[in-house]
């Protein structure tokens, strides 16, 4: 066996190789997948959940689920998309279990919220002016479903179909949910809520 370092594969092939090896039980491959994706999954969880400790616990639990369910991964889709879907479902389940939800099913005041579209440029400028902690604080003040919808769309770049599946709503409702969530976020950041 030679001591030469293996030639690096293109990023997609590298992930495919790690997933294949992880499916075969390679602890090194699991470690490599964790090192590659854990920081991004933690950031996702930190935005979706109310406390840092929750995000830390969720990150660990998500990777335990991924290891347990790796056989369900469809290799024709990007691994990161599947991983974020597992993460989104896990965070949403945590929020439901803790009854933190004050969303469209339980909060009548949201039903009466106007559907005016906030100026996207104005919201973008406000978000850019805030620190990471400021944005997290603003997101934490939103109802759980609104927070999850924004995190899934803008931080995880999920499609409307993926968001609908993760949140258990109809695809047609995702646009309304995002519109209301952006409106709520703008009000929180302007100090109106």
- Asked whether residue 2 is domain-assigned, the answer is no
**92 and 114 both lie in a single domain:** no
116 and 176 assigned to the same domain: yes
CATH classification of the domain holding 62: 1.10.1740.10
Domain-terminating residue out of 46, 77, 97: 97
Per residue in 129-172, pLDDT tens?
A: 555 667 778 888 888 888 888 888 887 778 888 888 888 788 88
Candidates 53, 40, 77, 50; CA nearest to 140 is 50
Which of 51-65, 95-109, 174-188 has the highest average model confidence (pLDDT)? 51-65
Q: What is the pLDDT of residue 2?
A: 42
Within-domain flag for 103: no
Average pLDDT over residues 77-97: 87
Instruction: Quote the domain boundaries for residue 171.
Output: 108-189
Instruction: For residue 64, give both structure tokens.
Output: 């335990």
Confirm whether 184 is domain-assigned.
yes
Cα(148)–Cα(162) distance, rounded to whole angstroms?
12
Determine, yes or no, domain membership for 5.
Answer: no
Domain-terminating residue out of 97, 125, 141: 97
Structure tokens at 179: 């519109």
The CATH number of residue 130's host domain is 1.10.10.10
Looking from the CA of 115 toward its CB, the CA atoms found within 13 Å total 5
Please give the angle made by the CA atoms of 72, 172 and 151, to the nearest 5 degrees: 60
Q: Examine the domain organization and report whether 84 and 117 are in the same domain.
A: no
Indicate if 73 and 112 belong to the same structural domain.
Answer: no
* Residue 141 DSSP symbol: T
Number of domains in the chain: 2
- Each residue's pLDDT tens digit, 100-127: 444 444 444 444 444 344 444 555 555 5
> Domain check: are 76 and 135 in the same one?
no
Query: Both 81 and 135 in a single domain?
Result: no
Mean pLDDT of 86-90: 90
CA distances (Å), 124 to each of 98, 118, 119, 185, in order? 31, 10, 9, 11
Task: Identify whether residues 133 and 61 lie together within a single domain.
Answer: no
Within this chain, do residues 90 and 120 fall inside the same structural domain, yes or no? no
pTM assigned to the model: 0.64
Domain presence at residue 67: yes
Question: Quick one: pLDDT at residue 149?
Answer: 87
Residue after which a domain boundary falls, among 62, 97, 132: 97
């Amino acid at each position: 066996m030679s001591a030469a370092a293996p030639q690096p594969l293109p990023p997609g092939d590298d992930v495919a190789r790690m997933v294949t090896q992880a499916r075969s039980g390679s602890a090194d491959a699991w470690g490599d997948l964790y090192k590659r994706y854990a920081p991004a999954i933690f950031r996702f969880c930190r935005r979706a959940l109310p406390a840092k400790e929750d995000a830390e616990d969720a990150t660990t639990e998500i990777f335990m689920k991924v290891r347990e369910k790796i056989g369900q991964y469809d290799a024709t889709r990007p691994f990161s998309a599947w991983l974020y879907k597992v993460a989104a479902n896990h965070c949403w389940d945590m929020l439901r279990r803790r009854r933190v939800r004050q969303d469209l099913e339980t909060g009548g005041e949201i039903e009466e919220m106007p559907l005016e579209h906030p100026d996207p440029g104005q919201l973008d400028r406000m978000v850019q002016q805030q620190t990471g902690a400021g944005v997290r604080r603003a997101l934490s003040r939103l109802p759980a479903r609104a927070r999850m919808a924004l995190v899934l769309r803008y931080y995880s770049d999920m499609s409307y179909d993926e968001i609908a599946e993760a949140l258990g709503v109809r695809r047609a409702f995702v646009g309304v949910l995002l519109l209301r969530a952006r409106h709520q976020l703008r009000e929180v950041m302007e100090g109106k809520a």
